[in-house]
Structure 1
Amino acid sequence: MSCNNSIVVLKFGGTSVSNLHRWQQILKIIQQRLKQGFQVAIVHSAKSGITNYLEKFTQTGALDLIDSIAESMQELAQQLNVPADIERYIQQLITYSKQKTFSNHDIANILSFGELMTHHIALRYLSQHVDIVSLDPKVLFISQADDDRLESSRVLSAKCNIAQHKTSHQCVIMPGFIAADKHGHTIVLGRGGSDTSASYLAVSLAASRIEIWTDVHGIFSANPHILSSARLIEKIGYEEAREIAASGGKVLHPRCILPAEQNNIPIHIYNSKDMDADGTIIKKGYESSSPRVRAVNVRHKVTLVSMDSINMWHQAGFMGKIFTVYEKLGLSIDIVVTAQTNVTISLDTADNVINKEILQQLQAHLSLYCQVVIYKNCSAVTLVGYRMRALLGQIAPIISGFAEQRIYLTSQSSNDLNISIVVDEDQSDKLLIALHDDLITENANQYGLGATWQQLQDRLVEPVETPKNWWHIKRQQLLSIAQQHSPCYVYDESTIIRQIRLLKSLTNIDKIFFAMKSNANADVLRTIYAHGIGIETVSPGEIDRVENAIHAFSDEDILFTPNFAAIDEYQAALNKNFHVTIDNKFILQEYPQVFANKKLILRLDPGHGSGHHRYVRTAGEQSKFGIHHSELQEVKELCDQHNITIVGLHAHAGSGILEHQNWQRIIQYLTDQVSIFDAVTLINIGGGFGVTENPHDKGLDINKLDAIIGRFKNRYPKLQFWMEPGRFLVANAGALMAKVTQTKVKGSNGYIGLETGMNSLIRPALYGAWHNIVNLSRLDDNLDITATIVGPMCETGDIIGVDRKVPYSQAGDVYLIANCGAYGFSMSSNYNLRAPAQEIFLKAKK
């Protein structure tokens, strides 16, 4: 198809359309292209956050979400000084909220409202400045008739035919993400599908190029949030770009590249926050010509299906039978690996809507032919490049370093453009870093690679004075302490008190308990209790610590929340008249006499966990915590039978959560269960409140969290609302100090060895946790080297920080690891018979 050189398609994502400043930038880009002689076609996503609200609405039908959606869209309209014109969509959502279930077409229709509401506001705003008309994607993009996938995939992740369209208008605008089936019903293109809309529209209009304007500079050689040294890929061919998008690259929707490639339309990716910077250009002629790795990507939530049968060996037609099962269920297979008696495949959520029911059907059908094991929540680490087989000699030693970890499968693509390794989720980032360091960082002068992500970020940061941390302010005092007591944890009482005051500003919380498993230091406990915070315990040892540290406390201020504990622990806590939480039907069945005639709190599983790592997600199918929804009625009957009064319901989704909407879902789930347990007087929303690593980082919005709790409090005025934070109160108040023992520097890279490691701080090794690390002795020196900070333990995993910018360091320098006030000393050990760091408490000045 020949291209019309006068048309350029501009696509703007959710963050790019979320406020007045961003729309002013969009207008500037439009006017620039018009001035250059182009006709302009605009495709936009929904305002950032709206699709998340709508997705949650399809799961819960909660009216509170409608309020949040209306408030967010009205805020945008007010900023742009145009009418919101969203009432019809809000009314439809209210009508939908009365339904108990939603069909796939209902879900598609609901999800489309984000783009449509944004579109009405955008059209009114832009019409004030340019001559512009609206295009209807449901006329241009019609679903493919030969799509044999499940209805859910056809409707919610549609593939479309493209109608040709000509326009004489200088400027047109179209909402992305939306299409239609042959009957005219709304369907959608899947999350991130506005990229595909832009590609479809470029084909429809025979455009000369597509410009994707987003909040990153382009495609990087790895996820820059994992690896700040990831390089911008400035030039790349279509095929390699497609492989990167399909293997977990977040910048482009995987499906958007092929239509552009088939019609030879270049794709340019630019950062709307840095309009003059270089980006990524995807174009014919930019293909690699020699063996090399372009990128290392990770896809999470990959499902593996392992099929074993001796009957498949030399058995004609066996593979056809099992793959027919996937076809009938409408499941698209990603990776296939075969052996004589085993076939293992992977299913990717990019092309499949995978849920519990689908997997149950799959297992049942496949079990007719073979033994089936399904592994959920794996991660696929994929190397993308050119002539990958020629690089196997370099790749194999890196993978062999992970021999002690579980590698489920490795796969080479037939087109020689990628190699995938499927591992446990917690190993994926480590493998990515190792592969990227050896295959990309060490080959820094490769064609088509630009600046690192960190270098590009530095362009965007205007020099501002960063507020100083407490340990920065008290640097000299800490250095004196370290000379005598290192390695040591230091806890700053002033910072703890500040965090307590912040939480107590929540006007809709009736009672706060401190999760002391995060920090059981006696001085910390005394400070927290003295400021009106109760104590949440999980073991007899913690109860003993409270009794020894706080000599006069009320039984009402102690919460006991064990998990898989011995029954005598529950009995002892009940005898002390503490609040007791149980999270397993088993103990009610086996030991009813212990709980008869008692008041209890139930910990429920809301069905989905949150947090930065699978080990801190404390809800969902993969978690050992909480009572499943299917067991609640049976628990109710057991309680009635033994005169057990359920006075509270509790849930805790995970740790390190910075999205306030998490608690909307938690509270909604808990209050929905009050109808089962009608004696409930309190809702414990748990903890997991994320903390910021640096003073200028954006943290949890406390005011929005309070507003969410307030809406439920108004709806349930007889209920009390409790919470049990741990890390939020003490993490920023603690720091670990240790002296340098040895250094190993080669050029501008190397290792810094400290006198303590994972025996004192295991979070980096266990969770992949990131902590700010500084050389306190040389705090103002230039950061000249990139170093990995390690401890003295006889373990490869004894790593505290990877690729940190630090000054040249000497033995005896004091290093400080920040934000260690939670789950630091409390998780320490005497591994290698090395004593962990001691604890020191800095009293606040009166």
Structure 2
Amino acid sequence: MAKLIVSKFGGTSMGDAECMLRSSEVAFGRGASLVVVSATSGTTNDLIALGKASESQPWAEAEKILSKIHSRHVKIAADLHLPTESMQRLETLFEEMGSIAKGINLLKDCSVKAMDTLMSLGERMSSVLCTEAMAQVLKRHNSDKKAMWFDVREVLRTDDSFGKARPLTKEVESLSQKKLGFLRDYKTVVVTQGYIGSTEEGMTTTLGRGGSDYSAAILAEGVAADVLEIWTDVAGIATTDPRICPAAKPIDEISFKEASELATFGAKVLHPATLLPAIRKNIPVFVGSSFDADAKGTWIRKEVEDHPLIRAMAMRKKQILVTLSTPEMLHAHGFLFQIFKIFNDHKVSIDAITTSEISVSVTLDDSTLVNKKLIADLSEIADVQVEENLTLISLIGNNINHTPGLAKQIFETISDINVRMICLGASKHNFCFLVSEDQSTQAIQRLHKKFVEA
């Protein structure tokens, strides 16, 4: 029985015509029915630069960036011998990009709403090009399937939180069944966009940086896919970053819970939110390299055969530690509620937390420091101390919080490295702690040698 497979390809897999044809071959070989693509490598950054230049610099600077983006996509179109109809669609997108940039330049204001529409053009352009690449691959294999371009905004409904919109799961599922239900006929390979969606009023939104994987998972959930594939430039998930530890080992299989912890705490292969829709519908996820499709890759499943104590480790750099202290916390209730309410009001996510009699310490991304109002609001209820240039180290595995002597082994391995904060017990899959950024690489290398290489 045929399986409904959703395959998502990242920016490097869309890098040029050769990459698009290679990725299309991978999708055809795997039997994908829905192909979700990112913008061509570097385009999203260029679109952000275009928005900023249009807002604050002379028009000539914006024109340079427009020309760069235009040239990149025209080159790919020429290499793919894009047919007239598709070329007209691409030209329409070029015109839209120029019009938005001119509007921003005229008003000297790049709103988050305008930036979302501008940034959506990366995926909208690459999907037009990849549809032609897919059509050529199908023709090459004498397939009776047809390649079809599809605007994901027709089904990926979101709220209006521009810049980091939240998918409306029930609406996405209803629209997907209505407009993409034909995928189960297996006569069409649909090519669509990751990262973007639209509000009920039809306004274009984005799901935030790295949101292409997440949107692919939302679509997989919406169409009730049997498998979700994430294709990148690395052959699956490794025990840690191979650039830090050359002895890092590929992981053949990992559980949803382990992979979620790994993604949340710094692994670059997966966006942290990617697995949520897959977990809800128990959709197996495969992570592989479009540049080496024959490599084994990594399967992420609800149930796995092997349950090692330490499966992998990751680190998240550029962390800050915020410590809130007040005697009023002693034997009082409601203090944590006040803290969390302030973070909630400012839409700031907390990664790890520890408490004492009169103090609470939380780790945050250092980008939070630009939010002066957050620090000011916290200062109204407690003394606030902020420590910068820290890294959160995480060991991911199984039964971590029920294994005697594990903490002793960890801290003996890094005995000369100061540990600023420890977070253990909330999850049996994760043990994390803070160290200074300049000692983080050394810590990971020693721990990997101790628990994985040994």
Shorter-chain TM range is 0.7 to 0.9
Are residues 406 and 60 of structure 1, via their aligned partners in 2, closer, same or farther at CA, if it must alter by over 3 Å?
farther
Aligned-partner residue type, residue 325 of structure 2: D
**Residue number in structure 1 paired with 2:34:** 41
Are residues 15 and 39 of structure 1, via their aligned partners in 2, closer, same or farther at CA, if it must alter by over 3 Å?
closer
Structure 1: distance between partners of 2:133 and 2:201: 32
Please say if residues 25 and 137 of structure 2, whose CA atoms lie closer than 8 Å, have aligned partners that are also in contact.
no
Task: Tell me, yes or no, if structure 1 residue 354 matches structure 2 residue 351.
Answer: no
Aligned-partner residue type, residue 26 of structure 2: I
Deviation at 1:391, TM superposition (A): 4.4
Task: Tell me, yes or no, if structure 1 residue 252 matches structure 2 residue 260.
Answer: no
SS at match of 1:440: helix
Q: Within 5 Å, give how 1:752-791 maps onto structure 2.
A: none
Question: Could you say what the CA RMSD is over the residues aligned between the two structures, in angstroms?
Answer: 2.2
Q: Which runs of 4+ in 1 moved over 6 A?
A: none
TM-score by length of 1: 0.48
Are residues 304 and 184 of structure 1, via their aligned partners in 2, closer, same or farther at CA, if it must alter by over 3 Å?
farther
Q: Name whichever of 165-174 and 24-33 sits farther off.
A: 24-33
Structure 1: distance between partners of 2:286 and 2:237: 10
Structure 2: distance between partners of 1:70 and 1:125: 19
**Residue number in structure 2 paired with 1:424:** 436
**Residue number in structure 1 paired with 2:80:** 80
**Residue number in structure 2 paired with 1:54:** 47
Task: Tell me, yes or no, if structure 1 residue 15 matches structure 2 residue 12.
Answer: yes
Please say if residues 240 and 385 of structure 1, whose CA atoms lie closer than 8 Å, have aligned partners that are also in contact.
yes
Structure 1: distance between partners of 2:433 and 2:32: 45
Q: Within 5 Å, give how 1:551-630 maps onto structure 2.
A: none
**Residue number in structure 1 paired with 2:123:** 115
TM-score by length of 2: 0.87
SS at match of 1:255: coil
Please say if residues 89 and 117 of structure 1, whose CA atoms lie closer than 8 Å, have aligned partners that are also in contact.
no
Aligned-partner residue type, residue 448 of structure 2: H
Please say if residues 377 and 425 of structure 1, whose CA atoms lie closer than 8 Å, have aligned partners that are also in contact.
yes
SS at match of 2:157: strand
SS at match of 1:57: helix
**Residue number in structure 1 paired with 2:385:** 373
Structure 1: distance between partners of 2:278 and 2:335: 38
SS at match of 2:70: helix
**Corresponding residue pairs, total:** 421
Task: Tell me, yes or no, if structure 1 residue 270 matches structure 2 residue 288.
Answer: yes
Aligned-partner residue type, residue 101 of structure 1: D
Q: Within 5 Å, give how 1:325-364 maps onto structure 2.
A: 325-348=342-365, 354=368, 356=370, 358=371, 360-364=372-376
Please say if residues 306 and 373 of structure 1, whose CA atoms lie closer than 8 Å, have aligned partners that are also in contact.
yes
Listed one character per residue, the Cα deviations across residues 6-52 of structure 1 (whole Å, up to 9, x for unaligned) are: 3111111111111222122123223324xxxx461100000001112
Identity of aligned residues (%): 29
Are residues 6 and 226 of structure 1, via their aligned partners in 2, closer, same or farther at CA, if it must alter by over 3 Å?
same
Listed one character per residue, the Cα deviations across residues 68-98 of structure 1 (whole Å, up to 9, x for unaligned) are: 2222222222222223524224312343334
SS at match of 1:174: strand
SS at match of 2:122: helix
Deviation at 1:172, TM superposition (A): 0.7
Deviation at 1:405, TM superposition (A): 4.3
Please say if residues 398 and 434 of structure 1, whose CA atoms lie closer than 8 Å, have aligned partners that are also in contact.
no
Are residues 76 and 341 of structure 1, via their aligned partners in 2, closer, same or farther at CA, if it must alter by over 3 Å?
same
SS at match of 1:242: helix
Structure 1: distance between partners of 2:22 and 2:243: 25
Are residues 405 and 435 of structure 1, via their aligned partners in 2, closer, same or farther at CA, if it must alter by over 3 Å?
closer
Q: Name whichever of 296-305 and 44-53 sits farther off.
A: 296-305
Structure 1: distance between partners of 2:111 and 2:369: 15
Are residues 233 and 301 of structure 1, via their aligned partners in 2, closer, same or farther at CA, if it must alter by over 3 Å?
same
**Residue number in structure 1 paired with 2:157:** 142
Structure 1: distance between partners of 2:94 and 2:375: 45
Are residues 232 and 99 of structure 1, via their aligned partners in 2, closer, same or farther at CA, if it must alter by over 3 Å?
farther
Structure 1: distance between partners of 2:361 and 2:38: 37
Structure 2: distance between partners of 1:188 and 1:13: 16
Please say if residues 5 and 207 of structure 1, whose CA atoms lie closer than 8 Å, have aligned partners that are also in contact.
no
Q: Which runs of 5+ in 2 are unaligned?
A: 55-60, 139-145
SS at match of 1:155: coil
Structure 1: distance between partners of 2:272 and 2:49: 24
Deviation at 1:119, TM superposition (A): 1.6
**Residue number in structure 2 paired with 1:221:** 239
Please say if residues 240 and 287 of structure 1, whose CA atoms lie closer than 8 Å, have aligned partners that are also in contact.
no
Please say if residues 237 and 287 of structure 1, whose CA atoms lie closer than 8 Å, have aligned partners that are also in contact.
no
**Residue number in structure 2 paired with 1:496:** none
Task: Tell me, yes or no, if structure 1 residue 68 matches structure 2 residue 82.
Answer: no
Listed one character per residue, the Cα deviations across residues 556-599 of structure 1 (whole Å, up to 9, x for unaligned) are: xxxxxxxxxxxxxxxxxxxxxxxxxxxxxxxxxxxxxxxxxxxx
Structure 2: distance between partners of 1:211 and 1:102: 35
Deviation at 1:287, TM superposition (A): 5.9
Higher helix fraction (1 or 2): 2
**Residue number in structure 2 paired with 1:163:** 173
Deviation at 1:134, TM superposition (A): 2.5
Aligned-partner residue type, residue 283 of structure 1: R
Aligned-partner residue type, residue 354 of structure 1: T
